[in-house]
Structure 1
């Protein structure tokens, strides 16, 4: 499962050298992650309503090439793991050249909101949403 977004880098995201400040890359990952989660109807509001929070517990960014003011980028988020945690991989490409600029990943785990207990496996609600999405895609392909 994969989603992508196009972002036009705003001036307020860059430093005095017009290069994107390193912390904003995680924001771009988040924008693509929300697009991905929307695909199977389990974004943050649905997570909360189902009784779970999904905090990011780990993130990694590999800054291969700087991103600059007014550059158009394509951010791709790919769901890699979901059984015991959500692991989402990201790649950022220059929109015009398709050169890969950055890659990384985030890991999220389910925490039951009622008692703040960490779940060591993904709750059934996530698996149900993914299965429904998969079935919808299979029917759409027919």
Structure 2
């Protein structure tokens, strides 16, 4: 399962060398992650409504080539793990040439909002959303 978003790099995301500041890559990952979560109807509002927060506990970015102002990029988020955590991998490509510019991943775990306890398995509500989505896609 994956989702793609197209982003036109804005001026306020670049540094004095006209290259995207390294911290903004995580923002681009987040935009693609939200689109991915929307596909199976378990984005942040649904997470909170179900009684769980999903903080990012780990992130990694491999900067392959700098991204510049006004460059059109395609960010792909790929769901890799979901049984015990959400692990999502990302790839950023130049939207025109399809050259890969960046890759990375994030890991998130479920935390029960009421007790503030971390879950060592993903809650059933996530699995139900994924199952409903996969059944819908199979039709």
TM-score range, shorter chain: over 0.9
Q: CA deviation at 1:54?
A: 0.1
Q: Distance in 1 between the 2:59 and 2:129 partners?
A: 24
Q: CA deviation at 1:131?
A: 0.1
Per-residue CA deviations over 1:41-73 (Å, capped at 9, x if unaligned) read: 000000000000000000000000000000000
Structure 1: 5+ residue stretches without partners: none
1:19-30 matches, within 5 Å, as: 19-30=19-30
TM-score of the two chains, using structure 1 as the length reference: 0.98
Determine if the alignment matches structure 1 residue 93 to structure 2 residue 96. no
Structure 2: 5+ residue stretches without partners: none
Q: Distance in 2 between the 1:95 and 1:119 partners?
A: 38
Tell me the number of residue pairs that the alignment of Structure 1 and Structure 2 aligns: 139
Q: Distance in 2 between the 1:68 and 1:31 partners?
A: 18
Q: CA deviation at 1:31?
A: 0.0
2:123 corresponds in structure 1 to 123
Q: Secondary structure at the match of 1:84?
A: coil
Q: Secondary structure at the match of 2:42?
A: coil
Q: CA deviation at 1:86?
A: 0.2
Determine if the alignment matches structure 1 residue 58 to structure 2 residue 61. no
CA RMSD of aligned residues (A): 0.2
